[in-house]
Amino acid sequence: MQASLHRSETASSASTSSRVPRSSIARPSPCRRQRALHVVAAQSTQPYWYSAKTIAPPKRGKHFLHLDDFTREELLDMLEKAKLCKAKFYTRDESFKPFAGQTMAMIFTKPSARTRVSFETGFFRLGGHALYLDPNTIQLGKREPTKDIARVLSGYNDVIMARLFAHSDLLELAQYSSVPVINGLTDYNHPCQIMADALTLLERKGRIEGTKVVYVGDGNNIVHSWLRLAMRLSFEFVCVCPPGYEPCPSTVEGAKAAGISSISVTSDINAVKGADVIYTDVWASMGQKETIDTRKVDFAPYQVNESLMALAGRQALFMHCLPAERGLETTDGVMESPVSVVFQEAENRMHAQNGILLHCLEATKRM
């Protein structure tokens, strides 16, 4: 999770929505603030959301940087592989070791218990060995250039997972790595989390496409990842947030221009009606805690509480990427309610990530 990178210059409560043929809208310009944050310095003329296809692919396998770098069929294949991994986990099938003899370097400039444990445990259970590189050890871009670290780690490992602040660091790692780079989170997006959410939605609703997903809260990296999933899978996505906390306009416009899904950004809380999923996140992420007093006032009407869930309807599930600040963005009652799938969602991080790794490492060819 990461607090909004863009605060709109002209806050508006008007809802915007679109289902537009992709051929009818030109590719939008990136956000001014995003341009500096989300491009590799050597390729600063490229839009910040440029795909993995503009980066030299690894010698074997694929990078996992943004969800729309993949086709609809590839994303669904990852989810099928995730379901396979989960089934093997519950049957304790010790013969299923597609990562046997492989190592994964895990770079953390932004700490997280869930990301480390889910990747390390998941890779180990499928036969691999994961190496944790903490911020003090790796000092990405400080002790030595990021491009040098990428090439050194590529020589030792089969895959690199990175959980970083700057999206530009992720792109530079991928640019110079000869092995797949997996995006464990950046300040811009969080694709592994959304794949876990998609797996949970599949398990609980039987489908992703045709559902209505409503995110209530700060227009952050979770929202950006849902928007990029909406460029490939067809569903209705609504971001409900206070004026001034909208997601990056370029990402919103990119999702609309894809013409795949119905996309809306609004401050109207009534947009939660009929949702299959109500999703929220913390109001102030790491690096934004000094703004929490202001945010408590701005976000108070957007707390996901029992009244909001009732407004959404009995069909609505509740999701949160965790960690949750109970009493702020949501209540203890909603977290512990029968419609909460938060901890199923958290477990599914491990299985979804294993599905991603199976796909990107092409491990199934050795199974």
Specify the pLDDT at position 166.
93
Single-letter amino acid, residue 142: K
Question: Which of 31, 85, 248, 321 is an active site residue?
Answer: 321
Check for a shared fold between 16-29+191-343 and 34-190+347-366: yes
User: Are β-strands 181-185 and 236-240 bridged in parallel, bridged antiparallel, or unpaired?
Assistant: unpaired
* N- to C-terminal Cα separation, the chain: 34
Residue 215 per-residue DSSP state: E
Q: Say which CATH class 16-29+191-343 falls into.
A: alpha beta
* Average pLDDT per block of 10 residues along the chain, 367 residues long: 45 39 34 36 38 79 96 98 98 97 98 97 98 94 94 98 96 96 97 99 99 98 98 99 96 96 99 99 85 96 99 99 98 99 99 98 64
In degrees and rounded to multiples of 5, residue 277 shows phi and psi of -135, 130
What are the residue ranges of helices labelled H in 237-335?
249-258, 292-299, 306-312, 332-335
What is the pLDDT, as a whole number, of residue 105? Answer: 99
pLDDT computed for residue 49 by the predictor: 52
Helix (H, G, I), strand (E, B) or coil at 79: helix
What is the per-residue pLDDT for 101? 97
Catalytic: 321?
Answer: yes
How confident is the model at residue 26, as a pLDDT? Answer: 34
| Domain regions of the chain by residue span | 16-29+191-343, 34-190+347-366
Query: Which two three-digit tokens encode residue 258?
Result: 């894809």
What pLDDT score does 53 carry?
Answer: 65
Q: What is the pLDDT of residue 156?
A: 98
CA torsion, ordered 88, 89, 95, 99, to nearest 10 deg: 100
Quick check: helix, strand or coil at residue 3? coil
- Looking at this protein, which amino acid is placed at residue 252? V
Q: Which pLDDT belongs to residue 345?
A: 99
What pLDDT shows up at residue 289? 82
Predicted pLDDT of residue 285: 83
Structure tokens at 248: 């990056």
Using DSSP, state whether 283 is helix, strand or coil. coil
Which among 186, 197, 195 is positioned nearest to 162, based on CA atoms?
A: 186
Superfamily for the 34-190+347-366 domain: Aspartate/ornithine carbamoyltransferase (3.40.50.1370)
